[in-house]
Amino acid sequence: MIKVIFLNCCLILILTSCSYIKYSSIQANYSKIQKSDPSQVNLKHMIDRETFFVLGKTIDKTKKYSNRPMAIAAYSSKFRKNERVDTMFIEGTETYYGLTLPEGTYTLLIYADINQDQIFQQSEIVGKKELILNTNKFPERIVKHKNIELTNNFLITWAETIPLPKKVKIKQSLYYPTGTIRSLTDPIFDERISTMGMYDPASFMKAVPTMFYATQEDVSHKIPVVFVHGIGGSPRQFNPIIKHIDKDRYKLWFFYYPSGGDLDQLSDLFYTLFLSGDVISLGKMPLVVVAHSMGGLVVRKSFNKYEGNTNENKVELFVSIASPFGGHPAAESGEKYGLIVLPSWKDLNPNNQFIKELYKKQLPKFVNHQLFYAYKNPSILKVKSNNDGVVPLSSQLHSEAQMQSQNQFGFNSSHNDILENKNMIDLLLKNMAGVQSKFPKSHMKILENGGFNVKLDDKYSPHTKYLINYAGRYIMLLVNGMIEPISPQQKQFIQVLQGKKIPTNDVEKEFIQFMKEYSKVIETVLNDK
Of 164-173, 419-428, 448-457, the least confident: 164-173
CATH architecture of the domain covering 187-433: 3-Layer(aba) Sandwich (3.40)
pLDDT confidence of residue 3: 41
Report residue 200's pLDDT band, with 50, 70 and 90 as the boundaries: very high
Average pLDDT, the chain: 91
Query: What DSSP character marks residue 456?
Result: -
For residue 262, list its beta bridge partners. none
Write out the E strands in 92-218: 96-102, 104-112, 119-120, 125-133, 142-143, 148-149, 162-163, 212-214
Tell me the torsion sign for CA atoms 164, 170, 176, 180.
negative
pLDDT confidence of residue 429: 98
Per-residue pLDDT tens over the stretch 301-335: 999 999 999 999 999 999 999 999 999 888 777 77
Per-residue pLDDT tens over the stretch 9-52: 444 344 446 787 788 888 999 999 999 999 999 999 999 899 99
Residue 195 has pLDDT above 80, yes or no: yes
> What CATH class is the domain 44-163?
mainly beta
The whole-angstrom separation of Cα 300 and Cα 283 is 22
Query: Could you tell me which residues come within 8 angstroms of residue 128 by beta carbon, excluding any fewer than 6 positions away?
Result: 107, 108, 109, 110, 148, 156
Q: Measuring CA to CA, how many Å separate 31 from each of 39, 112, 340?
A: 11, 35, 12
CA 205 to chain centre: 12
Closest CA to 428 of 407, 397, 398: 407
The whole-angstrom separation of Cα 509 and Cα 459 is 11
The residue length of the chain stands at 529
Residue 168 has pLDDT above 70, yes or no: no
Which pTM was predicted? 0.92
Parts of the chain belonging to CATH 3.40.50.1820: 187-433
pLDDT confidence of residue 179: 86
Parts of the chain belonging to CATH 2.60.40.10: 44-163
